[in-house]
Structure 1
Amino acid sequence: MDILMTLGDSEQQFRFAIDTAAYQGLTRRTEWRWPAQERLWNEPVRQFTGKGNDEITLEGVILPAFRGGIGQIKAMRALADRALTDASGARPLLLVTGYGEVLGEWVITAIEEEQPVIGPSGAPIEQRFRLTLGAYARDMA
């Protein structure tokens, strides 16, 4: 199985793969905060106030009849719920690319699902998803 990316740890992990939920697009947006301070008779000046949000959005298509089954998006939601209800408290999830780059700790902030093609029994023939992750920054102790 060609793994594109994994999210989670060894206890519970979601694998984005060609055979299951293959994402077809990845968008990453990173912000740096440089607010402008207005000045009299001069141009505004900018001051760096810290790093802003870091967000990754994965968009993909699942063909449940082909491989992976109908439960892939349900498994994504279960992983998000598990991160909130873990006995040790809410915790972030490790994100690792298929080529081994560790992207750090992230939290699932949104999952969107679309079922544009429905079969005769009402089950989706095609599912599209958009998974949004927010970077988790640990406080320095």
Structure 2
Amino acid sequence: APASVEFAGATSDPAPWYRAADVVVLPSRWEGMALAPLEAMACGRPVVVTDVDGARESLPAGRPPSCLVPPEDPGALARALTELLQDEPLRTALGAQGRAHVLVAHDLRHATDAVTDVYRELLGVATAPVVPNEGRKCITT
């Protein structure tokens, strides 16, 4: 890589790196559950991912087609990056859309409640329906 490229290595808090990026790219051949795009979107950054299971599901509905590119297609990846890097208003809008998506669809409380419900179902424990956020304060940063 040229001298202008910095390899950060391991970090305990990737948020400053995401915030420093104009676009976050995940050109995967396969993914389990892609956390990097979720973390980037939580930081308000637009993402470009390859159209593979795990990465595709991390994107919000209604995103532009250029945010999702075919795997192993460097031309499509280059076109998507060029489009986003040349359009600051689009990057800003996609960053805001991604952050809103993560806060709604991937909130830790929502995930915890879903896992707890699975355990309750498996154990046969009946519970009253839970009204989302009833009696709880939501704090976002």
> Shorter-chain TM-score category?
under 0.3
- TM-score, with length taken from structure 1: 0.21
Greater RCO (CA < 8 Å, at least 6 residues apart):
1
CA radius of gyration, larger in: 1
Structure holding more helix per residue: 2
